[in-house]
Homo-oligomer: A and B are copies of this chain.
Amino acid sequence: MEEKKSVLKQWILSAIKHRSAKELREIFETIPNIDIAEAISDVDDPKLLLYIFRVVGSEYSAEFFAELSSEQQEAVINVFSDKELMEIISDSYADDIVDTIEEMPANIVSRVLKACPKDLRGDVNRLLNYKENTAGSVMTTEYIEMKDSVTVKEAIANIRKNGRDAETIYTIFVRDNSRTLVGTVQLSDLIFSKEDDVLRDIMDKDFVCCNVNEDQEEVAKMFKRYDLTAMAVVNSESKIVGIITIDDVVDIMEQEVSEDIAHMAAITDMEDPYLKTPILKLVLKCVPWILALMVLQVFSTMILSGFENEITKFAILAVFTPLIMDAGGNSGGQTTTMIVRSLSLDEFSGKDYGKVVLKELRVAAIIGGIVSVFAFGWLMFEMSVGIVNTDSILERIAITGGNYNAYMAMIAALVASTLFVTMIISRMVGCSLPFLAKLVKLDPAVMCGPVTTTMVDVISLITYFLLWTQIIGPQLGF
C-alpha cells in the first residue's frame, strides 16, 4: 500500500514536471481520485496543484478538489482565477462546499460563496445554519423530485435533462399537488415499467424519511434497518428539503462508533485523526477524566484507610486488595460494554431491564462460582510456592500458635468469597448503570465503566474487611 502510494506520487510529479497533460489525464482515467489525492497529500506547492486542475477534465476536477486536504484546498483557491474557481464550485455538491468552507478563513469563505451560482449559494447558506449532527447538517440539496402525475416516459426524459447535477438519480422523490412527499420511485422501477405508467401507480408508498432536526445517529440506524441508499429529509410540513445518501451515512456510522469507543475509555472524543490533533488538545481530552476518576476514588481510599489497623496487624491483607479490585473492574467493564453496545444497536429497550437483570444474575452466579474456586486454588499455589511472602503468617503463628496450612486456607477462602460477592455486584451494577443513564437521557457509554468500578471497589473492599473482622479474623485469633 505504502509503496504503491509512493510510486504513484513519483508518476504524478514526473507528469507535471514534463508538462505531460496526456499522461496526467491517463492517471485520472485509470486511478480513483482518492488514491491520487492521497499520493500527493504532502504536495503543497499551489503551482503544481494548479497545473493538475488546468489539464484534467471537469468530470474529475470537482471530485478531486473535494478529496484534497483543507490546506491544499486553501492554497489552490488562492491561486485560482475567479473563473476557474467558479467552474470547480458549480460542479460541486452543496454538502461538499459546506465541508470545504467550514474550516477556512473568512476571506476564502466569501470568495467561494461569491463563486457559487445563485441557487447553490442559497443551499450552502441554508446548510451552514443547521445544527451540528442533525440530518439537516449532513444532507445535500441536489435531488430529483417529481409530481405523482408524471409518466415514466416524462420522468426518464426529466432525469436525462436535469439528473446530471443530482447527487443520486437512483431514487426519485414523488410529491403530490400540495408539495407533500408521498412516495419514492427507484430508477430500476422506471426501467422495468411501461412508458405511460404514472409515478403514482408504481411508487413505493412504504418509504421512510426523517425530519431535518433528527439526530444523525438515528438517520444512520434507519439506513441500516431499511437497507436504504438514499433517504428524504423533510421539514415539519412533510415537504422534502434535502436528501442523505449512503456514502454520508458510512461516515456518520464511523464517527458515532469513534464517539462511543472514546466515551467507554473515558476520553472526551476522537473526532480528529490522532496525528492531526494538537498536543494540548490530546491532553485536554484525557486529563480531566483521570483527575475525576482520582477524586471518585476517595470512597475506596476511605475504606482502605478505615481498616489500616487490620493491615498493620496483618499486612498480607493489603497484598490481595488490588487483585479483588481489578477482578471487579474487569468483570463490570465486560458487562457494561455488552449492555452499552446492545443498547446502541437497539437490541433492547428500557423495558427489557428486568429480563437483562435476571439473565445477568444467573451469569454472575456461575462466573462467581468459577472465579472463586479458581482463586482459592491459585492463592493456595501462590502462597505455597512463595510467590506471596508469608512472613506475616509465620510471625503470627510464632506468637499465637496454629496450623500454617489452615492459615493459608482461611486467607484464600477470604479472598475467594469476596470475589464471589464482587462478581455478582459488578455484573449487577455494570448492567444497571447503562439503563439508568438511558433513562435520564445521558449517553450510556459515558462514565458507566468508571462509575461501575468505583461502586464495585467500595462494595468489595467493605465485604473483604467485614468478612475478615467479623468471621475469619476472629477464627485465627485476631
Contact surface of A with B, Cβ cutoff 8 Å: 1-2, 28-34, 156, 159-160, 163-164, 169-170, 187-188, 191-192, 205-206, 208, 223-227, 229, 246-247, 249-251, 253-254, 257-258, 260-262, 264-267, 270, 273-275, 279-280, 282-283, 285-287, 289-291, 293-295, 297-298, 300-302, 304-306, 308-309, 311-312, 315-316, 318-323, 325-327, 329-331, 333-334, 336-339, 341-342, 345, 347-349, 351-352, 355-356, 359, 362-363, 366-367, 370-371, 374-375, 378, 382, 387-389, 391-392, 423, 450, 453, 457
Q: Which residue of B lies closest to A391 (CB)?
A: B308
Residues of B within 8 A of A339 (CB): 274
Can you offer 18 A-B residue contacts whose CB atoms are under 8 A? A2-B351, A34-B225, A34-B226, A163-B188, A229-B246, A254-B345, A257-B257, A261-B261, A261-B264, A261-B341, A275-B355, A283-B363, A287-B370, A290-B331, A297-B326, A308-B392, A311-B315, A330-B450
Question: Closest Cβ of chain B: how far from A312's Cβ, in Å?
Answer: 4
Indicate if the CB atoms of B170 and A188 lie closer than 8 Å: yes
Ranked nearest first, the 7 interchain pairs of A and B with the lowest CB-CB distance are A265-B337, A318-B318, A227-B247, A305-B389, A312-B315, A274-B342, A311-B315
A326 to B291, CA, bound (A): 11
Residues of B within 8 A of A225 (CB): 34
Indicate if the CB atoms of A318 and B315 lie closer than 8 Å: yes
How many monomers of this chain does the complex have? 2
A185 to B290, CA, bound (A): 53
Question: Closest Cβ of chain B: how far from A93's Cβ, in Å?
Answer: 12
Residues of B within 8 A of A327 (CB): 290, 293-294
Residues of B within 8 A of A375 (CB): 294
Q: Which residue of B lies closest to A306 (CB)?
A: B389
A305 to B322, CA, bound (A): 12
A238 to B207, CA, bound (A): 38
Indicate if the CB atoms of B169 and A389 lie closer than 8 Å: no
A318 to B303, CA, bound (A): 12
A318 to B300, CA, bound (A): 12
With A247-B227, A305-B387, A315-B318 in contact, do A348 and B282 touch (Cβ < 8 Å)? no
